[in-house]
Amino acid sequence: MCGLFGSLGNALAAPAFQSSFAQMRHRGPDDTEIIQPNGEVTLAFHRLAIMDPSHAGDQPFHSQQQSVWMMCNGEVYNYPALYARYQDSYPFSSHSDCEVILPLYQELGIAETARQLDAEFALIIWDQALGKLFAARDPIGIRPLFYGYSALDGKIMFASEVKVLSPLCTDIFAFPPGHYYDGEGQFISYRNISEVAEFHHNPIEKVLVEIRERLIEGVRKRLVADVPVGYLLSGGLDSSLVCGIAAHVLKKPLITFAVGLNKSPIDLPYAKKVADFIHSEHHEVLFNRDDTLNSVRDVIWHTESWDITTVRASIGMYVVCKYIHQHSKIKVLLTGEVSDEIFGYKYTDFAPSAAEFQKESAKRIKELHMYDVLRADRCIAAHSLEARVPFADLDFVSYCMAIDPALKMNTYKMGKYLLRKAFDGMNIVPEEILWREKAAFSDAVGHSMVDYLKDHAETLYSDAELFAASDKYPEATPFTKESLWYRDVFEQFYPGREALIKDFWMPNKSWQGCDVNDPSARVLANYGNSGL
């Protein structure tokens, strides 16, 4: 997890640049570089050293003639193949996985470079000969990237987090996933991973094999690092599968971490069962009411979001990542995000048809960079750690999105049936965990956490103040005292930037059974028993 900044103009002329760029140092405390290749274009990078942690891997990288400069926040999983392809023709200066992007770009240009990367990435390239600044982002948006236009000269700026651009730019926008910036003002789609040209209608036995093999490969790719790797283990299906597969592939104990409230944590016992099953070195991190309330401001500053679900789900993750940073040497964490968007949430049990299920899945994949992926990136990066997301493997997502949606509908009386069945009998995780009912992360750390937040919000606002929220915030109006609290804090840090988030993450209110006023799965009629 690194932090990058790129500007077509002279960012150093902006008095606020140094201080705003420094606010992102948590993303990369191992090295900081600020370079102006032509005396005006500004490239700046905070590095978290993962692959080739020596100074040879420091960024920006440049071509031998210093005609092309490149920065990338990400992990390139087809690095070995690309390195082999160019090692006889390109003088690599490091063993960093990201350096292979330079010869790839020099041969093929920005569009084909973006297409050929099997990676989680946000990258910026300055081509001196062309006089163009290019940028690109991975198809799911696992790595963050934003852009705006300098208040000084109107020239484009890019950065990993909004807090860097906010003092420098008038308007700020999320860089669309699966797009590249062509250096001439256009953002061009190179891959829409949510779009399915044709569904494959394989027998279910074939589908299960493909799901299993592709997820195993997605995990395998993400195990390579030159620094210690850890695993977030909630005790739910998704993180348990990631941990179980990693233990199966590595044939050695993992280091796992689980988080829960000090009172009645729901998931901690299940996480312990998985940890015992895979013989991991397991750590339980407990937090209380005060930790919950005291984390809210930090969580909103880091996530740059006012969304209810994002803030709630970030608190436990923020707490456990803080512990990992303070008590271990781990720098990489594997997590279980992106499974729900593919295989379904609790509320997608109510999908009225297979077509509607697919439409909802595609919508969630497109918006992931504003919600769960954003939350995981910021909570982990806040503590100078890197997130790797096996369920976001491009090959895995592409295949699973093209499964006949009728098979993914919950007609089995058990959510995520295909994913569970794919690993049935494989001895990857305990069968009890494989077939356990889903609990949302913000609930699973302990139901009391959400209650603490709601109760505290009641002490902050009167009913009249909530009623007046539409006057105060006509766009994305808070509709509960809790959401008004989050929005007020957000506006203190990022005034007028509410459009960075599309809307509150909520179930599809147009579906019967989903017209609820809280995003927690607890309010759904099927909570506690999957299937209708």
Distance between CA atoms of 245 and 218, rounded to whole angstroms?
Answer: 10
- The helix/strand/coil state of 148 is strand
Q: Which of 35, 113, 112, 103 is nearest to 65 (CA)?
A: 103
Residue type, 331: K
The answer to whether the beta carbons of residues 521 and 439 sit under 8 Å apart is yes
CA atoms within 13 A on the CB side of 206: 7
CA atoms within 13 A on the CB side of 216: 15
CA atoms within 13 A on the CB side of 261: 22
315: left (phi over 0), alpha (psi -120 to 50) or beta: alpha
Distance between CA atoms of 299 and 521, rounded to whole angstroms?
Answer: 22
The answer to whether the beta carbons of residues 94 and 54 sit under 8 Å apart is yes
Q: What tokens appear for 458 in the block? A: 């009641």
The DSSP 8-state label assigned to residue 202 in this structure reads -
Distance between CA atoms of 448 and 463, rounded to whole angstroms?
Answer: 23
Is 2 part of the annotated catalytic residue set? yes
Residue 71 pairs in a beta bridge with: 124
Distance between CA atoms of 492 and 47, rounded to whole angstroms?
Answer: 28
Distance between CA atoms of 373 and 375, rounded to whole angstroms?
Answer: 5
- Residue identified by tokens 């919600």 is 371
Residue type, 417: Y
Backbone angles phi and psi of 135, in degrees to 5 = -150, 160
Residue type, 111: A
The answer to whether the beta carbons of residues 315 and 299 sit under 8 Å apart is yes
Whether a cis peptide bond, with omega within 30° of 0, leads into 228 is: no
* DSSP character string of 88-131: TTS------GGGGHHHHHHHHHHHHHHHH--EEEEEEEEETTTT
Q: What is the layout of strands, in order, in the sheet containing 61-62? A: 61-62, 68-76, 119-127, 132-137, 179-181, 187-189
Q: What tokens appear for 531 in the block? A: 């299937």
Residues annotated as catalytic are: 2
